[in-house]
Amino acid sequence: MANLADISRLSLDDMSRNSQYMKGFADFVAIGSHDLVPFSEREEQILALHDQLEELRLEVALSEGLENQATEDATISNDNLADQLKRVERGYLESRSAYLLKSSIWESILVTDPTLKAVHSGANATPAERSLHPLIDTRDVLSIAHANLASHLTTMMDDLTMVEAQNIISSKKNRTLADTLLDLTANMQSERAEDVSNAKLRSQLQVLKEETKMSKARWRIMKSVTAAVIVGSGIDWSRNDELRELVLDDEDGPA
């Protein structure tokens, strides 16, 4: 399994090509905090009670927010029921966000002092403070990996945007070529082979007519395949007018 130093040096190229690093990172993430710092039974109980207390505090904050909202909307009628439900939902989300923000600030303040002591106390650190070192190392490595993954995701999104743009350009070219083919087909169909007196020309027109039928069939297949590729690619074609027209257009060309 890769160690902390190896994983902390994990680069975008490593993530893209090196399966060994990916497996090492997966094994590292699978390590739980209990494997790094074993807790006593009493400490386990304290942590469990703390989690329960946080859940109760969250429920109380949400209940108070809903009660305040209900007091403001004392009269409920069918006419404005939808608006009142939206206000209640908004009040619920605001209460939840406010509590989570306050809880996050409180936790940050709570862990800052022991973290600083664990890092800077050196030989004077207590056993409890020294036991925090593995967790601090894990946090730092995960932060680096998260930054690398976020950068990798941004790069992939940029590449996807470029591919979508190229796909739109290709779709325009395909549509232009298809329109040209349909125009040529319409011009050829305007003259019936039977109206041509020259037997040689009449034979050639008949051949061209058969080739046109085959071209129309290939065009229909190409259009269906192109639409299927666009839909299956995951591109958000519904927000692009040209791609949406290409996918939803059921016109098969002139008969």
Assess whether 186 and 142 both reside in one domain: yes
Supply the pLDDT for residue 141: 84
In a domain, 224, yes or no: yes
DSSP H helical ranges for the chain: 4-8, 12-17, 19-30, 33-36, 41-72, 81-120, 127-130, 133-189, 199-232, 241-248
Assess whether 232 and 212 both reside in one domain: yes
Q: Where a domain ends, among 162, 180, 195?
A: 195
d(C-alpha 175, C-alpha 17), whole Å:
38
Assess whether 137 and 159 both reside in one domain: yes
d(C-alpha 108, C-alpha 139), whole Å:
14
Assess whether 150 and 188 both reside in one domain: yes
Answer for the pair 68, 91: CB distance below 8 angstroms, yes or no.
yes
Supply the pLDDT for residue 100: 86
Supply the pLDDT for residue 31: 57
Answer for the pair 78, 53: CB distance below 8 angstroms, yes or no.
no
Assess whether 230 and 189 both reside in one domain: no
Answer for the pair 132, 115: CB distance below 8 angstroms, yes or no.
yes
DSSP secondary structure string for all residues of 209-239 = HHHHHHHHHHHHHHHHHHHHHHHHTT--GGG
Domain boundaries, position 143: 126-195
- Tell me which amino acid residue 96 is: R
1: helix, strand or coil: coil
In a domain, 234, yes or no: yes
d(C-alpha 63, C-alpha 43), whole Å:
30
Assess whether 187 and 202 both reside in one domain: no
In a domain, 73, yes or no: no
pTM above 0.85, yes or no: no
Encode the chain (255 residues) as per-residue pLDDT tens digits: 445 445 445 444 555 455 555 555 566 656 555 555 677 889 889 989 988 998 888 888 888 777 776 665 555 566 667 777 787 788 778 888 888 888 888 888 888 888 888 888 777 878 877 888 878 888 888 888 888 888 888 889 888 888 888 888 888 888 888 888 777 777 666 655 555 566 776 677 777 778 877 877 887 787 777 777 777 776 777 777 777 777 776 655 544
Supply the pLDDT for residue 192: 56
CA 25 from centroid of its chain's CA atoms: 22
Supply the pLDDT for residue 25: 59
In a domain, 52, yes or no: no
In a domain, 117, yes or no: no
d(C-alpha 123, C-alpha 170), whole Å:
66
- Give me the number of domains the chain comprises: 2
